[in-house]
Every structure is written in structure tokens, then in C-alpha cells.
Amino acid sequence: MRCAVCHADGGPGCTGEDDFLRHINGNKHAGLAQRGAFLGLLPNMAGVIPRLTLPKLIAAKKIWECSKGAAAVRPASHGAAFSGTDSE
């Protein structure tokens, strides 16, 4: 698993979800990302973005997806609420 922030240079990444969870909560990631949080995955050596199965990572990904959507949406003049989508 390759963090979109810390492994963008093509580094090897993490060996699994537990390792990736430790990574996104670690000091290196917090320093580069300006915070400790899930900020995306890059494709692995096989060109695939791994599916997440660890509940804490799934929750972190959903928070990230919602924050991306909320930042991109501007309030409608008629006051409609943004409902978001579930891409999982």
C-alpha cells in the first residue's frame, strides 16, 4: 500500500493495512501531510489500488472522501444540501 502523500516518489510503501494504519498515524506522514489522516492511496507495483478491509481504514477513507466532496461543492442558490456519494 502506497500513501499518496508520502510514497508519491515511487517508494515501496506499506506491507499491509495494519502497517498502513500505523503509517497514517505516524510522525513522518503527519509532517508531510500537515496532519495525521488518510489522504489517498497510489497504485501498488501491480498497478492496482488495494481494496480496504480494515474497518478503521474504511472509516478514514470515507472521512477523506467526504472532506474532498465538501470542499469541491459550493452551496446552491436554492439551498439544496449536498448529499455526497458512497463509492465503496
Q: How many CA atoms lie within 13 A of 81 on its CB side?
A: 2
Buried b (16+ CB within 10 A) or exposed e, 29-65: beeebeeeebbebbeeeeeeebebeeeebeebbbebb
The pLDDT value recorded for residue 15 is 87
Whole-number Å distance between alpha carbons of 6 and 11 = 8
The pLDDT value recorded for residue 9 is 66
The pLDDT value recorded for residue 79 is 41
Q: What is the pLDDT of residues 36-84, one digit of tens each?
A: 789 999 988 889 998 999 999 999 999 988 887 655 444 444 444 433 3
